[in-house]
């Protein structure tokens, strides 16, 4: 009976020890608490496995808990991270896929998170907060290489078009024509040298003529200034003459308005006086005695007396 109790006690104690060891191995009272975050990758996540590390500026802060293809858009991959509670995941924190060393083991690197940025929260209707992602180095290199290869292919196509048989024949013909021109120039080297010498002399003579023409142009400029000055003086004289003519015109108008009527009356009176003098002269010539004895009545002619009343 005692052996049975001892065996039961040993088995119970062993089970308790095994449970304690398992509890301590799983973290026990020191077990860390994690928050779940979601990220959406628009590229291939080849090499990334479950429980791959999630690092924040190189420090391990969590694990990858889920990798799942987006059913609605197969070009995207949904990732679920378990990150230690208290990790400063901010709204401007970004996640990027990286590889470790030459082994090619992929992990997730978090970066960003300025002090002024608020903590990342789940959006309305969302289950987890969503961390923004940026293309990985391999994705960027792939895009660059794709663009470069496309440009190289286009360049190769253009080069093939340039080096077509027709263009090669045209290029050969152009080289032949250039060779003919070169031989022609070599054959006429002396003539070309003489022409260049003549051109140099012509330029020298032109420079001399230009230097001699400078004083003439200066004199012409002074003459133009004198003519301009004279024109200004003539303009001033014309303006003065215009004012004088206007003044004379006013005097003439005033003379016509005031003097001409008096002159007309004087001329009328002089005409009457001249007529009277003419009659007096005629009468004196007919009868000079009239100046001494005055005028006598003219005797009636025959039959004039009888006709009077």
Q: Tell me the C-alpha to C-alpha distance, in Å, between residue 274 and each of 111, 122, 134, 268, 282.
A: 135, 136, 132, 10, 12
**Which tokens is 68 given?**
């799942």
**Which tokens is 230 given?**
């004279």
pLDDT at 202 over 90: no
pLDDT at 242 over 70: no
pLDDT at 309 over 50: no
Cβ-based neighbours of 132, under 8 Å, separated by 6 or more = 39, 93, 94, 95
Q: What is the pLDDT of residues 107-129, one digit of tens each?
A: 999 988 788 899 989 888 888 99
- Residue 128 · residue 37 · CB < 8 Å: yes
Q: What is the pLDDT of residues 3-46, one digit of tens each?
A: 777 778 888 888 888 888 877 766 555 567 889 999 999 988 88
- Residue 39 · residue 120 · CB < 8 Å: no
DSSP E strands, the chain: 34-41, 53-56, 59-69, 77-84, 94-100, 105-111, 130-133
Q: What is the pLDDT of residues 205-238, one digit of tens each?
A: 777 777 766 776 777 777 677 777 777 776 677 6
Looking at residue 94, its pLDDT comes to 93
The model's confidence at residue 307, banded by pLDDT at 50, 70 and 90, is very low
Mean pLDDT of the region 249-268 = 66
**Which tokens is 42 given?**
């628009």
Go through 212-228 and write b for each residue having 16 or more CB atoms within 10 A of its CB, e for each that does not.
eeeeeeeeeeeeeeeee
Better pLDDT: 302 or 265:
265
Looking at residue 306, its pLDDT comes to 47
The model's confidence at residue 308, banded by pLDDT at 50, 70 and 90, is very low
pTM for the full model? Answer: 0.44
pLDDT at 200 over 90: no
Q: What is the pLDDT of residues 274-285, one digit of tens each?
A: 777 777 677 666
Q: Tell me the C-alpha to C-alpha distance, in Å, between residue 294 and each of 11, 154, 284, 287, 289.
A: 204, 145, 11, 10, 7
- Triad 19, 24, 26: Cα angle to 5°: 95
pLDDT at 100 over 60: yes
Residue % of the chain over a pLDDT of 70: 76
pLDDT at 245 over 70: no
- Average pLDDT of the chain is 79
Residue with tokens 């999630």: 54
pLDDT at 287 over 90: no
The model's confidence at residue 199, banded by pLDDT at 50, 70 and 90, is confident
Looking at residue 185, its pLDDT comes to 83
Looking at residue 249, its pLDDT comes to 59
Range of lowest pLDDT (3-12, 147-156, 240-249) = 240-249
The model's confidence at residue 67, banded by pLDDT at 50, 70 and 90, is very high
pLDDT at 291 over 60: no
Better pLDDT: 37 or 286:
37
Mean pLDDT of the region 190-194 = 82
**Which tokens is 145 given?**
């290489």
């Amino acid at each position: 009976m005692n052996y049975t109790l001892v065996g039961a006690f040993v088995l119970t104690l062993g089970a308790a020890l095994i449970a304690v060891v398992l509890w301590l191995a799983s973290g026990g009272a020191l077990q860390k608490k994690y928050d779940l975050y979601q990220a959406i990758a628009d590229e291939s996540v080849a090499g990334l496995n479950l429980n791959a590390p999630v690092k924040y500026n190189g420090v391990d802060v969590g694990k990858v808990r889920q990798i799942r293809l987006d059913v609605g858009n197969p070009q995207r991959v949904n990732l679920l991270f378990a990150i230690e509670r208290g990790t400063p995941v901010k709204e401007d924190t970004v996640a990027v896929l990286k590889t470790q060393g030459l082994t090619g083991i992929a992990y997730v690197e978090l970066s960003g998170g300025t002090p002024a940025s608020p903590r990342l929260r789940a959006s309305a209707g969302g289950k987890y907060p969503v961390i923004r992602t940026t293309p990985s180095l391999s994705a960027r290199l792939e895009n660059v290489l794709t663009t470069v290869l496309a440009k190289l292919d286009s360049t190769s196509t253009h080069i093939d078009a340039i080096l077509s048989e027709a263009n090669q024949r045209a290029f050969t013909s152009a080289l032949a024509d250039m060779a003919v021109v070169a031989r022609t120039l070599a054959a006429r080297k002396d003539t070309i040298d003489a022409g260049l010498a003549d051109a140099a002399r012509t330029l020298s003579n032109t420079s001399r003529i230009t230097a001699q023409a400078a004083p003439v142009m200066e004199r012409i400029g002074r003459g133009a200034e004198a003519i301009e000055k004279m024109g200004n003086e003539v303009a001033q004289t014309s303006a003065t003459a215009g004012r004088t003519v206007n003044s004379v015109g006013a005097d003439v108008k005033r003379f016509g308005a005031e003097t001409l009527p008096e002159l007309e009356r004087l001329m009328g009176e002089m005409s009457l006086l001249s007529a009277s003098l003419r009659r007096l002269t005629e009468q004196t010539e007919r009868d000079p005695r009239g100046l001494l004895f005055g005028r006598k009545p003219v005797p009636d002619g025959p039959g004039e007396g009888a006709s009077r009343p």
